[in-house]
């Protein structure tokens, strides 16, 4: 008998995880570093806010800042 292949009904393929490099968060200007992303006001320095389409969120404390909606 032949082996039956498992059918994947209703399952979506997994998303690829995107690994960010530290060079995406900082930029070297002159003798110092400049942060490219905004820091979380609750967690402090070193915790960056994730950029979504309509908001900025913190992964640790779940602080959320909504981006302004554009008028029609």
Structure confidence by residue, pLDDT tens digits, 21-59: 777 788 889 999 888 889 999 999 889 999 898 999 999
State pTM to two decimals: 0.59
Domain boundaries, the chain: 40-72
Per-residue pLDDT, 12: 74
Cβ contact 39:47 at 8 Å: yes
Cβ contact 28:19 at 8 Å: no
- Residue 55 CA to residue 29 CA, distance in Å, equals 28
Cβ contact 50:24 at 8 Å: no
Q: Name the DSSP class of 25.
A: T
Give the H or E element holding residue 66.
Answer: strand 64-66
Q: Is the pLDDT of residue 3 over 70?
A: no
């Amino acid at each position: 008998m032949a082996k039956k292949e498992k059918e994947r009904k209703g399952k979506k393929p997994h998303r690829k995880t995107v690994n960010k490099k530290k060079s995406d968060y900082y930029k070297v200007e002159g003798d110092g570093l400049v942060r490219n992303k905004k820091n979380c006001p609750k967690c402090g320095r070193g915790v960056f806010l994730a950029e979504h389409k309509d908001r900025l969120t913190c992964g640790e404390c779940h602080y959320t800042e909504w981006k302004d909606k554009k008028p029609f």
